[in-house]
Each structure stands twice: as structure tokens, then as C-alpha cells.
Amino acid sequence: MLLGSRDKAFDVFLHAGTAAALLIALPAPRLRPLTVVPAAIAGLALQKPIETRLGRRAVAAGQIVGGLALLLADRAPERRPEDELGVRDSLLIGLAQACALVPGVSRNGATFSAARVLGFRRDAASRISRDAALPVIVGATALKLSRLGGGRPTAAHAAGFAAAFGSSLAAARLVPRIDRLRSYTPFALYRIGLGLVAARSA
């Protein structure tokens, strides 16, 4: 289902709020081009076909598959520190990030799961995931804003920006605590449950 112009505009302001919050709350990311390039290429090539052809069922499937991936990936051994990230690792994490183009797939969840499957410790996987995702989020937001054209922001746009900014800022400050948890199972089960609810209403 293709989004209308109003929906697209609102979506852009949500992304802008998220990007602004992450730029403020998180330390400057280490630039890891190979974790960014696959997602950037896929986004430029596939975004419009995905928006046109994938609808609510894809969102539900993305939530469920992403939750299952996180559930299984977080059981991988925690043996590798962040400085062991190599070319192969970066490319695989970049390909995982490209999967976030599918509605319902979490960008952070995909990259974190990929890093954990590759054996990185939970804290290292979290940092690698944020380093990979932030440049793509900022770049995608800037590109969408440029395509949006003129027009004044509405009250709904401002409210969406504020909600995304506030929730992302709060979530970013919880990241260190979440990294210290023994298991990501509650988050995985939440996503699976949300996907099942979405599937029933699709």
C-alpha cells in the first residue's frame, strides 16, 4: 500500500525527531562505511517498490521474524570485543541493516542480532549497532526532507516530531541499563506478540 503525501510527510517528521534525539543523546558514532553502504544502496534502489507493494501483513511478519531473530541471536556466545570487527563482519551487519527496509523490521534489532550471531559481546554489539544505524537514519531523513518539497509543517507534524524526539531521547538514555541485562528475551517476546496482534488485524 503506497503512502499518501500527508502520511509521507508525517513519517518524515517522525524520522527527523528520532534522528535529532539520537544525535543529542548518543556519543559521536565511529564511522563504519561497510555497515552503512549496503543499507544505503538498498534504500535508494528498493524503497519505492517496497512502499508500493508491502502492506500490513509485511509489518506483522517483520515484527515476528525480527523478534525470533533477536531471541535466537542473543543466545550466541559473548566472546568478541568491538575492536575485532572486520570487513566480513561489517558487510554482514550492513546487509542485516538493509533488511530494515521491510516494514516492521527494526534497524537496531537487525544489526544487533547480526552482531550477536557473529559472536560479539552484548555491549559491543549494541555499540556497533548504533554506529551502523545512526548515519543511515540521519541520511535517510535528510533525503526524505529534500524530496518533501515546500509547505508549512502542520500541528500534527510538530506533535509527531516532538513525540519521536522525546521517546527516542528517553530510550537512548536507557540503553546502558538495557545492555547490562542478562537476556533480551522480554524484548523479543514483545515484538513477536506485537506482530501476532498485527497479523490478526491485517
Please, are residues 57 and 199 in contact by the beta-carbon 8 Å criterion? Answer: yes
Tell me 80's DSSP state.
B
C-alpha distances in Å from residue 2, one per residue of 6, 49, 56, 104, 137: 12, 9, 11, 15, 21
- Span 90-133, pLDDT tens digits: 999 999 999 888 878 888 889 999 999 999 998 899 889 988 88
Beta-carbon count within 10 A of 80 CB:
19
10 or 158: whose pLDDT is higher? 158
The DSSP code sequence of 121-175 is: -HHHHHHHHHHHHHHHHHHHHHHHHHHH-S-PPPHHHHHHHHHHHHHHHHHHHHH
pLDDT higher than threshold 80 for residue 160: yes
Alpha carbon 171 to its chain's center:
13
Question: In the prediction, which pLDDT does 3 show?
Answer: 44
pLDDT at 139: 82
Confidence of residue 2 (pLDDT cuts 50, 70, 90): very low
**157 Cα distance to chain centroid:** 21
State the greatest distance between any 2 C-alpha atoms of the chain, in Å, as a whole number: 51
The pLDDT of residue 76: 92
Sign of the alpha-carbon torsion through 167, 171, 172, 174: positive
Domain that holds residue 181: 5-201
Is the pLDDT assigned to residue 149 strictly greater than 70?
Answer: no
pLDDT in tens, 60-81: 888 899 999 999 998 999 999 9
**Amino acid letter for position 137:** I
Q: Looking up cell 556519543, which residue turns up?
A: 27
Model confidence band, residue 168 (pLDDT cutoffs 50, 70, 90) = confident
Query: Which pTM was predicted?
Result: 0.79
Of 54-58, 72-76, 164-168, give the lowest mean pLDDT range. Answer: 54-58
Number of domains in the chain: 1
